[in-house]
Structure 1
């Protein structure tokens, strides 16, 4: 009975931390890291997003914004490849540090916003979130599924294997990779939905089908419309119970005409309206607890305008996820409405 009472208290504490984080304040965590893939420059993503006016934009929202700066990633002197996976210890160490930072932020009552960096960082971001909110669900908005294992990955790059580390269903398919001894899978395949897929490797396609993972390719979005896609997504994840949402958003989910400064662009991506609608619908649930915005690479922009447009789009995505509305500032409208005696005119 004592053990049961202790467990009950622990779970209640964890639930309270998740509830507070969704309403109280926002923590910005910069993760300037690029070793999960081979193209340098993505480590400058956090600075580019901040320079595009992130903090100023978020300061217009209704809750405090705390920018905790950038994490300081120390790289091992020697980091030999494992199989054909480059920098395994470096990536593992970085994600362990990030997991601790995200866990601390959410435990302190913040909604965590991680600025990448490459998408291998989601390993630590989602794992740190799960420490505080073990019943979380994950929405992965990306051109790529990032669910390769070392055996199925054509490149070996860990930014294309992030989800495989998380899934309990793939535990027997993932070898013990140096640098990840701290990491244990924590996510069920039923707790995950992909949106925006259009460049999926053969091995990943087999994994998606065999595990029955819910996903929406760009063809599905064309066929169903983004409104229906979001209805099905949120019903799939939240119909049984309300629980914290982790949104992991790769900027390459957008069409390259909108987000050219990124490492693995794929034609035929999300429009601006589709991407923002996704984030607006997630915000409307009131359940967003943590978010990643990754793969903004300023070095790969053909010119300053390309970099600015990509970074500004990242700011729009984050602000929309946190409540910025295309319908205008609701709080101001309510104050004006309360000052009017003829409310009938306001309904026009």
Structure 2
């Protein structure tokens, strides 16, 4: 049974849609937030007893500049920066109102906004990053230049000076970040993870110990006294493509349906979860059945974050 939330006295949730694709090359991921809401997510949360408000941010594409050259290897830096800086303020304001912040992406560069916004309200929070990828490349190490693979380097303060991202503050400490589900990690990212001492549980660890023990160990590392706010950032590509096929960078061998949901359920049970991101749902990829399946999973993950349980 989910505990009362220590940080959120009232059952109020703000769903923030971020229909944004600027951090990676695939179109379609900007459709994810609206499709999740059209599937009935807001109504589902209301039926669970939550007071829901929804901000669609449908005009984000209007922020795309006419000229957005590559700067320090990063693609579309002006667009990514302007959108994430705007949304970060929005998220901070909702967190300050003691609302659970449920952000629907969009690509994972949106984490520049979610983590900045949440940690500006909860500076001692910890971040659980559930993803096939580490997303901690710097402008100096990225091969692709896609910013959805770089947000954590900026948030950790290791990206160096980039003229478009001076607004991003190093709000995240390495001992407050833990990965679950990694299985596609660049060599440069492995080096960063080891050098900073970031706790990371790959799919090897999930296989070895089981998801229950992995979640417990993750919390022991970043929230040992179970008294700090928790922010979950969940990229659906952490799930095996057989579970969530409609995503831009699928990697075989991921979390099962139950393992993904267990993470959300267990974090909700702590009574400490204050924010969750559901990222990288791309309805333009795969066939209609695969899209429906991925959207259905995205909604059920969100419901689990807000207290839905099997019994």
TM-score, scaled relative to structure 2: 0.95
Q: Paired residue for 1:203?
A: 188
SS at match of 2:201: strand
Structure with bigger RCO (C-alpha 8 Å, 6+ apart): 2
Q: Do 1:52 and 1:308's aligned partners in 2 also have CA atoms closer than 8 Å?
A: no
The reply on whether 1:242 has 2:188 as its aligned counterpart is: no
CA gap 1:233/1:52 in 2 versus in 1, 3 angstroms: same
Residues 177-220 of structure 1 deviation map (CA, whole Å, 9 limit, x = unaligned): 23212111111100000000000000000001111110110011
- Kindly report which structure 2 residues correspond to 1:124-273, keeping only aligned pairs within 5 A, or say none: 124-168=113-157, 170=158, 174-240=159-225, 242-273=227-258
Q: Paired residue for 1:77?
A: 66
SS at match of 2:47: coil
Pairwise CA RMSD of aligned residues?
1.4
**Counterpart among 91, 99, 113 of residue 102 in structure 2:** 113
SS at match of 1:83: coil
Q: Do 1:20 and 1:110's aligned partners in 2 also have CA atoms closer than 8 Å?
A: no
- Structure 1: which 5+ runs fail to align? 1-17, 328-348
Q: Paired residue for 1:27?
A: 14
CA gap 1:317/1:198 in 2 versus in 1, 3 angstroms: same
SS at match of 2:284: helix
User: Separation in 2 of the partners of 1:93 and 1:268?
Assistant: 35
The reply on whether 1:61 has 2:51 as its aligned counterpart is: no
SS at match of 1:113: strand
User: Separation in 2 of the partners of 1:157 and 1:231?
Assistant: 32
- Structure 2: which 5+ runs fail to align? none
Task: Tell me how far 1:52 sits from its aligned partner.
Answer: 2.1
CA gap 1:175/1:239 in 2 versus in 1, 3 angstroms: closer
Residues 152-196 of structure 1 deviation map (CA, whole Å, 9 limit, x = unaligned): 11101100001111114x2xxx23223212111111100000000
Higher helix share: 1
Task: Tell me how far 1:22 sits from its aligned partner.
Answer: 6.2
CA gap 1:289/1:71 in 2 versus in 1, 3 angstroms: farther
Task: Tell me how far 1:241 sits from its aligned partner.
Answer: 5.7
CA gap 1:275/1:23 in 2 versus in 1, 3 angstroms: farther
Task: Tell me how far 1:58 sits from its aligned partner.
Answer: 1.0
Q: Do 1:22 and 1:286's aligned partners in 2 also have CA atoms closer than 8 Å?
A: no
The reply on whether 1:295 has 2:280 as its aligned counterpart is: yes
User: Separation in 2 of the partners of 1:310 and 1:231?
Assistant: 27
Q: Do 1:166 and 1:184's aligned partners in 2 also have CA atoms closer than 8 Å?
A: yes
User: Separation in 2 of the partners of 1:57 and 1:64?
Assistant: 11
Residues 197-246 of structure 1 deviation map (CA, whole Å, 9 limit, x = unaligned): 00000000000111111011001100011011011011112214611111
Task: Tell me how far 1:316 sits from its aligned partner.
Answer: 0.6
User: Separation in 2 of the partners of 1:152 and 1:85?
Assistant: 11
TM-score, scaled relative to structure 1: 0.85
Q: Do 2:101 and 2:275's aligned partners in 1 also have CA atoms closer than 8 Å?
A: yes
Q: Paired residue for 2:297?
A: 313
SS at match of 2:20: coil
User: Separation in 1 of the partners of 2:35 and 2:125?
Assistant: 29
Q: Paired residue for 1:335?
A: none
Task: Tell me how far 1:51 sits from its aligned partner.
Answer: 2.1
CA gap 1:103/1:48 in 2 versus in 1, 3 angstroms: same
Q: How many residues align?
A: 305
User: Separation in 1 of the partners of 2:249 and 2:185?
Assistant: 12
User: Separation in 2 of the partners of 1:305 and 1:178?
Assistant: 43
Task: Tell me how far 1:19 sits from its aligned partner.
Answer: 5.1
SS at match of 1:139: strand
User: Separation in 2 of the partners of 1:207 and 1:158?
Assistant: 17
**Counterpart among 43, 48, 56 of residue 35 in structure 2:** 48
